Amino acid sequence: MPEITMLEAIRQALFEEMERDPAVVAIGEDIGVYGGAFKATEGLLAKFGHERVIETPISETAIVGAACGMSYLGLRPVAEMQFIDFIACCFNQVTNFVAKSHYRWGAPVPMVLRGPSGGGVHGGPFHSANPEMYFVHTPGLKVIYPSTAYDAKGLLKSAIRDNNPVLFFEHKFLYRRIKEEVPAGDFTVPIGKAVVRRQGSDLTIVSYAAMAHVAMEAAATLAKEGIEADVIDLRTLLPLDSETILASVKNTNRLLIVHEDTRTGGIAGEIAAIVCESAFEHLDAPIARVTALDTPVPYAPPLEERFLPNAEKVVAAARELAKY
């Protein structure tokens, strides 16, 4: 199997799904001739033409509104945000139309809204956001945030084939930094199912996206000290795979949640509540979390490094948890 980047895995998924299903169309800013800000759509225009690769003005509201209308008419649009931060511009479209159409009148809305997210690349406060929790809080949506090339390809294929609206976050720090073997044939990864990346019996570390790699780095360090961690990569945030989390916590009796999103209102709080409700008697220590700070993402590299979680911070929190 060939080794490819996450960016190439996403591009392959788009090509293959557009070849497989003529109802799949791509829409967004600079996705045609330029090939997208990060080149995720490079080559689509030459292959599928302007009728299926639709370049738009710089208007996120127009992009999402048009994609929503296309989905009502039987198409399966994949809309790209040039940077996911600007999904705020179309918040009304996403939450009041896309998310509620099936509830209101039974209309399927088979559309995907995808785009680069996350920090670590010194993009500053307007190009580094992790706004996933605005949408995890919105019934009617599905929210995906993969950490590997394999999962990015398989989950994007699943998202495109799903009859519900899916938000697909792509961590830009991972686009070209990770590579792995990805099957050339058709495959999908199920939405709503986490994966255990590493097994251990001393504590559970739950994470996703770029922080899943940080969690694995921390777990390798902890193992040298005799602390073995279960590392769970959520992959999907909505629906959340609480069963996998609870099964692990019942085995390890300790829980550490790591995410790049800011602390207040992050998914760590929801996971902690689920564990307290369903596995409180299994806990031997307070639930801990390592997150970004409650500020906008700083532009200056030293400040961004201070802002973001890292393996050192995760190891320190895990040590305290293990010895509690």
* Percent of the chain at pLDDT exceeding 70: 100
pLDDT at 1 over 80: no
CA dihedral sign of residues 47, 50, 54, 57? positive
Q: Which of 102, 127, 137, 282 is catalytic?
A: 127
Mind listing the pLDDT tens digit for each residue in 41-73?
999 999 999 999 999 999 999 999 999 999 999
Residue 107, classed as helix, strand or coil, is coil
Amino acid at 93: Q
Among the listed residues 159, 25, 163, the one whose alpha carbon sits nearest the alpha carbon of residue 101: 163
Mind listing the pLDDT tens digit for each residue in 130-150?
999 999 999 999 999 999 999
Question: Which CATH superfamily is 3-181 part of?
Answer: Thiamin diphosphate (ThDP)-binding fold, Pyr/PP domains (3.40.50.970)
Instruction: Work out the mean pLDDT of the chain and round it to a whole number.
Output: 97
The pLDDT assigned to 2 comes to: 79
Measured distance CA(69)–CA(145) in Å, rounded: 25
Measured distance CA(246)–CA(277) in Å, rounded: 10
The pLDDT assigned to 52 comes to: 98
Q: Can 127 be counted among the known catalytic residues?
A: yes
Residue 27, classed as helix, strand or coil, is strand
Q: Domain boundaries in the chain? A: 3-181, 195-322
Q: How many residues would you count in the chain? A: 324
Mind listing the pLDDT tens digit for each residue in 253-278?
999 999 999 999 999 999 999 999 99
pLDDT at 85 over 80: yes
Domain 195-322 in the same topology as domain 3-181: yes
The pLDDT assigned to 82 comes to: 96
| Topology, domain 195-322 | Rossmann fold (3.40.50)
What is the phi/psi pair of residue 80, to 5°? -105, 130
